[in-house]
């Protein structure tokens, strides 16, 4: 399994976009396109991850609040505990995915609380969106808590598998809530999505879409980002789609004179037709 992780604490240059790519996967992170105008703890509290294995690709974005500890802890926990299984050779069971998501989110919240308890950062919390792409099953296993996005981009257009057209809602975090399994079940999203005629999955934190901060139309911004990347070199499409999506957010933030951190993850699912 090959993986890469971008943590916000290491990326704090205003206007810069840092990227990593491997095969069909890419991640990007930025402090933002303009200074934040709201109270915050750390300059950049977002994080992004990909892991590429023999059977699948995991992509994750996390939007930390009240410190970067929660986003970093949750994303590292996913990499260490769950990525080997999800990207391995054994297929995932679609019918068991909703229950599995609740188990995973419960574990992540416990890890965040353990990391931050009895520290000045005990209020740190995070949203989370992930997609496990299984090419052999032609499916994506999606999970989310909070207001980050998972966009499916294909011949039929762009749809947000998580928020389904809502703007930055619902407000729910992993971390200080100490949520019960039932509470997590009421707030979490667990979807199994068809990948037929799909070009890419694009995950993004709400720095892309937040009202009066990000872009006016997130689906259209992502469509353009993927379309532009698709016109270029096939090997560069994942990283260019990630760069283009992050850049759209930064441009909007500069125009709005209000910034936010941005994390993006892309899994390119479209394959070149054989000659």
The span from the CA of 89 to the CA of 53, in Å, is: 8
Please write the tens of the pLDDT for every residue from 207-233: 999 999 999 999 999 999 999 999 999
162 within a domain of the structure (yes/no): yes
Question: How far is it between the farthest Cα atoms of the chain?
Answer: 61
* Residue 68 in domain: yes
* CB environment 186-204: b (16+ within 10 A), e (fewer): ebbbbbbbebeebbbbbbb
- Which residue's structure tokens are 């910034």? 259
Tens digit of each residue's pLDDT (9 = 90 or more) over 5-27: 999 999 999 999 999 999 999 99
Write out the two tokens for 139: 């499916």
Total domains in the fold of the chain: 1
Nearest CA among 83, 206, 79 for reference residue 133 = 83
Give me the CATH number covering residue 235: 3.60.40.10
What pLDDT score does 72 carry? 97
Mean pLDDT of the chain: 93
Q: Which domain holds residue 220?
A: 2-268
| Within a domain: 273 | no
Q: Is 274 a domain residue?
A: no
The number of beta carbons lying within 10 Å of the beta carbon of residue 40 is: 15
Q: Is residue 26 part of a domain?
A: yes
Instruction: Please give the pLDDT value at position 168.
Output: 44
pLDDT at 169 over 60: no
Instruction: For residue 275, tell me if it sits in a domain.
Output: no
Q: How far apart are CA 178 and CA 234, in angstroms?
A: 44
Per residue in 30-76, pLDDT tens?
999 999 998 888 999 999 999 999 999 999 999 999 999 999 999 99
Residue 100 forms part of a structural domain: yes
- Residue 110 located in a structural domain: yes
The 57-65 sheet, strands edge to edge: 2-7, 46-52, 57-65, 125-134, 139-145, 189-194
107-164 per-position pLDDT tens digit: 999 999 999 988 888 889 999 999 999 999 999 999 999 999 999 999 889 999 998 7
Q: Which tens digit of pLDDT belongs to each residue from 248-269?
A: 999 999 999 999 999 999 999 9
Is the pLDDT at 167 greater than 60? The verdict is no
pLDDT at 166: 61
């Amino acid at each position: 399994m090959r993986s890469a992780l971008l943590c916000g604490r290491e990326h704090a240059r205003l206007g810069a976009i840092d990227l990593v790519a491997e095969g069909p996967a890419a991640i990007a992170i930025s402090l933002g396109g303009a200074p934040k105008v709201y109270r915050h703890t750390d300059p950049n509290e977002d994080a992004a991850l990909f892991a590429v294995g023999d059977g699948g690709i995991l992509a994750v974005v996390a939007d930390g609040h009240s410190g970067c500890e929660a986003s970093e802890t949750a994303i590292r926990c996913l990499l260490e505990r769950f990525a080997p299984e999800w990207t391995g050779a054994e297929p995932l069971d679609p019918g068991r995915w909703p229950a599995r998501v609740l188990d995973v989110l419960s574990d992540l919240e416990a890890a965040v609380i353990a990391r931050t308890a009895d520290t000045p950062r005990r209020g740190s919390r995070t949203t989370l969106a992930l997609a496990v792409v299984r090419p052999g099953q032609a499916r994506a296993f999606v999970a989310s808590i909070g207001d980050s996005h998972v966009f499916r981009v294909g011949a039929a257009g762009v749809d947000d598998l998580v928020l389904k057209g809502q703007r930055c809602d619902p407000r729910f975090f992993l971390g200080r809530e100490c949520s019960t399994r039932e509470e997590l079940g009421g707030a979490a999203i667990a979807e199994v999505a068809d990948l037929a005629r799909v070009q890419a999955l694009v995950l993004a934190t709400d720095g892309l879409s937040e009202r009066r901060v990000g872009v006016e139309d997130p689906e259209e911004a992502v469509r353009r980002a993927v379309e532009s990347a698709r016109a270029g070199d096939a090997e560069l499409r994942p990283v260019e789609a990630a760069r283009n999506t992050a850049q759209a957010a930064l441009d909007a933030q500069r125009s709005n004179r209000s910034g936010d951190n941005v994390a993006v993850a892309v899994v390119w699912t479209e394959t070149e037709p054989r000659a």
